[in-house]
Structure 1
Amino acid sequence: MWEILYGKPVSFEQKSEMQFQLQVCNGLRPHIYENTAICYANLMKKCWNMDPKKRPTSKEIYETFVEWQNNETILLELSESNKIIQNIKNKDMQIDIESDYRSRFISFNSSCKYQGSKLQELKIPEN
C-alpha cells in the first residue's frame, strides 16, 4: 500500500540481509508522510500488523475502498492528501537504487523464529 500511495518502491539502508529481516520482523516499516490521509494511513498500518490474523483480508481492503468511494468526506481527504503527496514525490523521497531489499521474500523460519515477532509455527496437514 505504501508503494501504491507514494508511487515509489520502499527502500531501507541496511548492510546485512539478516539485520534487515530481523528489523522487519521487529516492526520496521516505511515512514508515513505527515499529510497522508488518515483513513489510508490507518488501513496501511492494519496491513502491517505483526499478527497476520489482525490484518485485513483482500476482500476487506476492497470493501473499504468501495466504502470510501461513497463517502464525500473521505474522498475530499484523499484528494487533498494526493495533491500534497505529489509534491512529496518530487522532492523528499530519495530512493536507494542499489538497495537489494525491495520485493524480497523473507524466510520467517530463519529470521523471525526467535525474535518475539509473535509468529505462530505453521503446520500443514498431509491430507
Structure 2
Amino acid sequence: MTKHAVMTPEIFSPTNDQNDQLEKVIASIDIPACPAVVMQAMAESQKDAPDLPRLAALIAADLSLSAATLKLANSALYRTGSPISGVRQAVERLGTKIVVSIVFSLASRPTNSTICASAWPWLLIEP
C-alpha cells in the first residue's frame, strides 16, 4: 500500500499525534470520496458560521467521508467515552477544523476516475 501524505488546508495545522492518526484513518479507507459532496462540504465548512448539522448531513451522504469521520472520532486520540455510531456525533466530537482535514485529505488522494465515476452513484447514501 502506498502511503499518501495527508494534506490539510492552511486553516488547520494538526499536531503530530493528530496528523499520524489522520494518516492512519485515511490510509485505511479505499473508497473514493464523491467530488460533488466534497465540494459542498468544503463550501459549508468555509462559511463564517458553518452549520454543523448540514455539514454532518453532507458527510453522511458519502460512504468514504462517513467511514473516515467515524473512525477518527472513535480512535484512541478522540474517544472520550463510549463509541459513537452517528456521523453527526462524530462531527460534533471532532469539530469543524478536523472534519475539514478529513474532507480535504480524502479529496486530495489520487483515484482512478473511471472506477470512481461508476461507483459514486452507488456510494451515495440517501438521507
Instruction: Decide: shared fold, TM above 0.5.
Output: no
Task: Provide the TM-score with structure 1 as the length reference.
Answer: 0.28
Greater helix share, structure number: 2
Ranked by relative contact order (alpha carbons within 8 Å, sequence separation 6 or more), the top structure is 1
